[in-house]
Structure 1
Amino acid sequence: MVDPVQRINALQERAAVTKPPALPRWEDWQRSVPNEVVRSALFTVGNRRDRREFLVETELAAIGETQVTYQGVELRQDDEDVWLQALHLAREQPLDAPIEFVPHAFLRAIGWPTTGHYYALLRDAFGRMQRTTVTFRNQRLHKGLSISLIRRFEWSDRDAGGSDDRCKVWIEPEMRLLFGNTQYTRIEWEQRRHLRPLAKWLHGYFASHRTPLPVRVVTLRDACGSDTRELRNFRPKLKAALTELVEACFLSDWQIDETDLVHVCRAPAPGVDACGQTRLI
């Protein structure tokens, strides 16, 4: 008997031969990301003021069956903000075509100031992601998939993005394979934009589960890429981030039990946030 998952993957690959690969569609208030990304330390919770480490063929911590190997400069949550917005723009067209945007509008979309300094930071983020090699291996893919997060990008030589400056970014067409049919997470963008790094990572991870299962503190510490070695020092940071998610109306409750398992309760129903407010869709 043919494995249904293998059959679906074969049909997807066959379809990709006949038409240009494209991302799934999602709403303007959402951003979408493969589950393998938000359940791993690909984008860490490091402070962007700290020096970034260069990793060579390093296996990253991940929750679940996926093995993630990475080479490149350490990526952080600010890089993920940039990548999520690029994917959001790319969903409107085939992946073999570049996305074009005005840096000023892009910066506003990710919640960064629209100054020359942040224009340079945006360009740096694209550069870091272009110079990456990420390999994903899991049962769903039935193979190893090695890609760069950004294939190529072009930008103006001017220090700041003017109203008529346009940048181009190419996303790897193979990125479509990571999204599959249901193997990606839709994130509420406005919630994420106002969170601090650890809360952002937890937001993505818990959003990737309809009903999150209990998970150990040490597992979260490793998978988010925290450099806090002692759990007694990480727990207060984790508690503060979980409280931040309650205040953002993503979680309704959380607790860490006596066995160091983290339990969370998400928003009760689609279209209504954890504070009971109707969400505009």
Structure 2
Amino acid sequence: MTDPVEQVRALQRKAADRNTSLKSGLSLELFAQGDLLPPVTDLAPSTLPEWSDAVRGVPNAIIRGALFAAVQGKTRRYMKGEVVEQGDGMTIKFTGMQLDQSDLDVWETLIHISRHTPKGEKFYFHAGAVLSYLGRPRGGDHYRWLNESINRMISGAVSITFDDRYTYSSNMLKAWKDEITQDYIIQLDEQLLSLYSLGWTQINWAQRDALRGKPIALWLHGWYCSHTNPEDISIDRIQQLCGSSNKNRDSFKAKVKAALEEIKEIGAIANYSVSRNGIVHVERNPFNTLPGF
């Protein structure tokens, strides 16, 4: 029987030979079916960009699509290989229990507290610290809420396809938890962090926190924060991008109007209009001093 250690070493030698062949320009067709795929280009920087405690840094690809949908948690559904973002030669698909904007709050916070940790390394935190960052009290119900959100991201599988050819698939994060002390060790997916190199946005955290519990407003806030000069966009396009479960156009249009009013009230935009045929126009607030919008 082959020694397992020797099996691992054989795979390592095989991968090294493959990398050498790739660098030599040999055709990928030389590799037999069942071999490991050629490595996806590592886009991730060695560390994340810098931002202050007043904001949260988020990849544009995350907040411009439906990976974290504009839905209420009670309406979340199971997704199987559904496209949640597409553009710039990249397609992101998700399999798992649907993630919502409260899950994005948790993911943004995990990124925020670990942003000085080298990519791929584990980091430690207590559940109470994350709840404090999120403005939530410590207690049994809130510990359970946080744990459920983290578990959705542990079990959720993301696949990123570049140029309709190379696909990288992984869970969003790995976690170890002490059930007694509520201590966690988390390891974030490196390739998901690589999305920062394709463009990222600093989200005004106080503004986002003021919109808590309003999924469409939260999604629109992220959308407009990620565009320096936001172009007009149709109600139908917003409905498609944000992953809303509301398929009634008139009802959704009314909710978008209400959400835009809420975003205006917190000072994130100066004004907005929605035409009769459903075209949304937004004017930026020139006095919004925090980066991100």
Cα distance in 1 for partners of 2:210, 2:99 equals 19
The yes-or-no answer on 1:55 pairing with 2:83 is no
Q: 2:229 aligns with which of 211, 214, 226?
A: 211
Q: Report the counterpart of residue 189 of structure 1 in structure 2.
A: 205
The yes-or-no answer on 1:39 pairing with 2:77 is no
Q: 1:230 aligns with which of 221, 229, 248?
A: 248
The yes-or-no answer on 1:245 pairing with 2:263 is yes
Superposed counterparts of 1:127-276, under 5 Å: 127-137=151-161, 143-150=166-173, 152-158=174-180, 165-180=182-197, 183-195=199-211, 196-268=214-286, 272-273=287-288
- Aligned amino acid, residue 179 of structure 2: D
**1:97 match: secondary structure:** coil
How far is 1:219 from its partner?
0.7
Taking only the aligned residue pairs, the percentage that are identical comes to: 28
Preserved CA contact (<8 Å) 1:21 1:96: no
Specify the structure having the higher radius of gyration (Cα): 2
User: 1:29-72 CA distances to partner (integer Å, 9 max, x unpaired)?
Assistant: 1111111111111111221233x311111223657764321111
Preserved CA contact (<8 Å) 2:123 2:185: yes
- Aligned amino acid, residue 200 of structure 2: Y
Preserved CA contact (<8 Å) 2:273 2:281: yes
Cα distance in 2 for partners of 1:176, 1:42 equals 14
The yes-or-no answer on 1:96 pairing with 2:120 is yes
Cα distance in 1 for partners of 2:102, 2:190 equals 23
Preserved CA contact (<8 Å) 1:39 1:63: no
How far is 1:197 from its partner?
1.3
- Is the alpha carbon distance of 1:260 and 1:128 closer, same or farther for their aligned partners in structure 2, counting shifts above 3 Å? same
Preserved CA contact (<8 Å) 1:133 1:146: yes
- Is the alpha carbon distance of 1:124 and 1:179 closer, same or farther for their aligned partners in structure 2, counting shifts above 3 Å? same
- Is the alpha carbon distance of 1:48 and 1:55 closer, same or farther for their aligned partners in structure 2, counting shifts above 3 Å? same
Query: What TM-score, normalized by structure 2, do the two folds share?
Result: 0.78
User: 1:125-175 CA distances to partner (integer Å, 9 max, x unpaired)?
Assistant: 111101122123456x9844433221x1122213xx6xxx53211111223
**2:281 match: secondary structure:** strand
Q: Report the counterpart of residue 21 of structure 2 in structure 1.
A: none
**2:253 match: secondary structure:** helix
Cα distance in 2 for partners of 1:225, 1:88 equals 25
How far is 1:111 from its partner?
2.1
Preserved CA contact (<8 Å) 2:85 2:93: no
User: 1:200-226 CA distances to partner (integer Å, 9 max, x unpaired)?
Assistant: 111111111001000110110121111
Any unmatched runs of 5+ in structure 1?
A: 1-11
Q: Report the counterpart of residue 4 of structure 1 in structure 2.
A: none
How many residues align? The count is 249
Q: Report the counterpart of residue 34 of structure 2 in structure 1.
A: none
Preserved CA contact (<8 Å) 1:69 1:135: yes
Cα distance in 2 for partners of 1:100, 1:216 equals 43
